């Protein structure tokens, strides 16, 4: 930024954040008029980024956000929670209704007036699950906006969880419905086609944890060098890399767990983001970096998580090739007129499944993939209320409204990739060696493994950057 630009801005009552002094700002008068229109008097990196993006949005971009939470809030009063659960019910009901027989569909309020012995269908949110002591039947209590109803199943289905919205089909006998079949909202087949484009790759990383003394800096720098085409191995892949997703926990943060300060190399969160910026700034500009946040980042922990707070992570907004999205978010990657849909979620709720559901009592890659399948089947990223902290909004952003081509998570520091129906499911390991907290709980992270997907045909593999020689990773579950 020229001194004369700074003066012009100052004359117009606009204060400029010091991080922008070396930044190219383009036409200063155009910038001043945009800032005045928006009533903005402090120009920081995020504001400048938003103005640039807005201008660019008019052009054809290579990414397109479908669901990106912009930060609206409620007061979290009881009525907000009721509205929130009603919204979740309606969002999932709209998916299930196509799979119901309209002649048999009833509401909880209408249940008592149905003659005994009738076949019925009902869409309900699970409020309680128990097992009858004598016959070991599964008793599922459900609710809809009109009332409550009891479902009795002769067999136990361990994929039915509290707060899921499901379609139950059965026969009314006295005061309950005896279950014949349960339909999950589940994702659809995408009838996958090979796109009429050349090989185009997207790489997925997460849990970089910059600032931690256990940050795998050498490995991360190797990955960046590889993206720059400086490394011989798999160079042909690096040359065709067009997108890099960073799925949360960009930095280690401050005060996240007891005793964390002993394992911090950088003890100031701004400096942690500045260090990450210096690394990401090296990435070739033809690679679009898609950035979301996790529970270690500078934003609130309750989901949906808004974009990283520019007060702390402002330097990241200076990256010209970055796109910022909420956690979770849904977006399209566009290549030569074709597109693939990505669902990104940091993955906080995965730990709940592992800790509370018997069959997932380990953090093996196959458990993580089974949990992700169950999320897609439930069409919800945290189906059990309490498995992630949430804000009661007028829409439940954790409902999976569309079937993605790729569903990516992180958070658990493991590498895993597989397919469910036509959707690739993957977890993107981490760049942090074992912390004392992980050691205490017997968690062994997989470090520096990068799942990569070819957008052309949705083929996939994982590259391992841990050792000096980059190689294909056959661990995890593939």
| Contacting residues toward Fe ion, per CB under 5 A | 207, 249, 294-295, 411
| CB closer to Fe ion, 253 vs 383 | 253
Query: What minimum distance in Å lies between the beta carbon of 87 and Fe ion?
Result: 26
State the sign of the Cα–Cα–Cα–Cα dihedral 391, 375, 347, 66: negative
| Region for residue 127 given its phi and psi (left: phi exceeds 0; alpha: psi -120 to 50; beta: otherwise) | alpha
| CB closer to Fe ion, 67 vs 206 | 206
| CB closer to Fe ion, 77 vs 439 | 439
Residue 345 tokens, joined: 């979620």
Alpha carbon of 408 to those of 344, 373, 444: distances in Å? Answer: 5, 11, 20
CB 431 within 8 A of CB 208: yes
Chain-centroid distance of CA 30 in Å reads: 36
CB 107 within 8 A of CB 69: no
Alpha carbon of 288 to those of 204, 248, 323, 333, 335: distances in Å? Answer: 12, 16, 7, 10, 12
| CB closer to Fe ion, 32 vs 417 | 417
Query: What minimum distance in Å lies between the beta carbon of 108 and Fe ion?
Result: 38
Query: What minimum distance in Å lies between the beta carbon of 387 and Fe ion?
Result: 14
| CB closer to Fe ion, 437 vs 461 | 437
Query: What minimum distance in Å lies between the beta carbon of 429 and Fe ion?
Result: 10
Query: What minimum distance in Å lies between the beta carbon of 66 and Fe ion?
Result: 23
| DSSP assignment letter at 231 | S
CA angle in degrees (0–180, nearest 5) for 328-330-334? 145
Alpha carbon distance 263, 11 (integer Å): 46
Question: Per-residue b/e over 24-35, b at no fewer than 16 CB within 10 Å?
Answer: ebeebeebbebb
Residue 91 tokens, joined: 């969002």
Query: What minimum distance in Å lies between the beta carbon of 427 and Fe ion?
Result: 11
Count of alpha carbons within 13 angstroms of residue 377, beta-carbon side: 13
| CB closer to Fe ion, 9 vs 415 | 415
Query: What minimum distance in Å lies between the beta carbon of 206 and Fe ion?
Result: 7
| CB closer to Fe ion, 288 vs 411 | 411
Query: What minimum distance in Å lies between the beta carbon of 357 and Fe ion?
Result: 19
| CB closer to Fe ion, 428 vs 454 | 428
Query: What minimum distance in Å lies between the beta carbon of 251 and Fe ion?
Result: 10
Phi and psi dihedrals of 67, rounded to 5? -125, 115
Closest CA to 273 of 300, 291, 285, 287: 291
| CB closer to Fe ion, 67 vs 429 | 429
């Amino acid at each position: 930024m020229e001194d004369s630009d700074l003066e012009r801005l100052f004359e117009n009552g606009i204060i400029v954040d010091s991080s922008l002094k070396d930044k190219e700002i383009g036409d200063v008068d155009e910038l001043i008029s945009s800032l005045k229109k928006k009533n903005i008097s402090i120009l920081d990196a995020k504001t400048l980024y938003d103005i640039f993006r807005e201008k660019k949005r008019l052009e054809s971009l290579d990414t397109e956000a479908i669901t990106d939470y912009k930060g609206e809030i409620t007061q979290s009063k009881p009525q907000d929670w009721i509205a929130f659960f009603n919204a979740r019910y309606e969002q999932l009901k709209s998916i299930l209704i196509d799979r119901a027989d309209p002649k048999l569909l009833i509401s909880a309020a209408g249940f008592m007036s149905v003659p005994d012995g009738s076949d019925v269908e009902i869409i309900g949110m699970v409020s309680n699950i128990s097992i009858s002591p004598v016959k070991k039947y599964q008793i599922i209590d459900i609710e809809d906006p009109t009332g409550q109803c009891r479902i009795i199943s002769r067999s136990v289905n361990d994929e039915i969880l509290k707060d899921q919205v499901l379609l139950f089909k059965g026969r009314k006998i006295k005061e309950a419905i005896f279950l014949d079949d349960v339909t999950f909202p589940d994702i659809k087949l995408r009838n996958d086609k090979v796109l009429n484009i050349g090989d185009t790759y997207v790489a997925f990383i997460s849990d970089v944890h910059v600032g931690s003394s256990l940050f795998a800096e050498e490995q991360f720098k190797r990955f960046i060098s590889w993206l720059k085409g400086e490394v011989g191995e798999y160079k042909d892949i690096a040359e065709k890399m067009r997108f890099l997703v960073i799925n949360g926990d960009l930095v280690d943060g401050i005060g996240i767990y007891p005793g964390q300060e002993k394992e911090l190399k950088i003890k100031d969160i701004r400096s942690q983001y500045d260090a990450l910026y210096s690394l990401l700034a090296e990435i070739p500009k033809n690679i679009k970096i898609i950035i979301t946040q996790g529970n270690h980042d500078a934003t609130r922990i309750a989901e949906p998580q808004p974009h990283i707070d520019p007060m702390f992570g402002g330097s990241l907004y200076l990256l010209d090739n970055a796109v910022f999205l909420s956690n979770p978010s849904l977006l399209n990657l566009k290549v030569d007129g074709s597109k693939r849909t990505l669902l990104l979620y940091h993955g906080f709720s995965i730990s709940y499944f592992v800790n509370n559901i018997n069959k997932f009592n380990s953090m093996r890659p196959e458990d993580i993939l089974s949990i992700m399948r169950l999320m897609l089947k439930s069409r919800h990223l945290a189906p059990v209320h309490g498995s992630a902290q949430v804000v009661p909004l007028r829409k439940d952003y954790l409902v999976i409204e569309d079937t993605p081509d790729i569903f990516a998570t992180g958070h658990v520091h493991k590498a895993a990739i597989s397919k469910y129906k036509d959707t690739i499911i993957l977890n993107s390991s981490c760049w942090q060696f074992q912390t004392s907290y992980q050691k205490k709980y017997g968690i062994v992270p997989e470090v520096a493994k990068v799942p990569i997907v070819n957008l052309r045909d949705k083929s996939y593999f994982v590259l391992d950057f841990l050792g000096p020689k980059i190689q294909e990773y056959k661990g995890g579950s593939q």
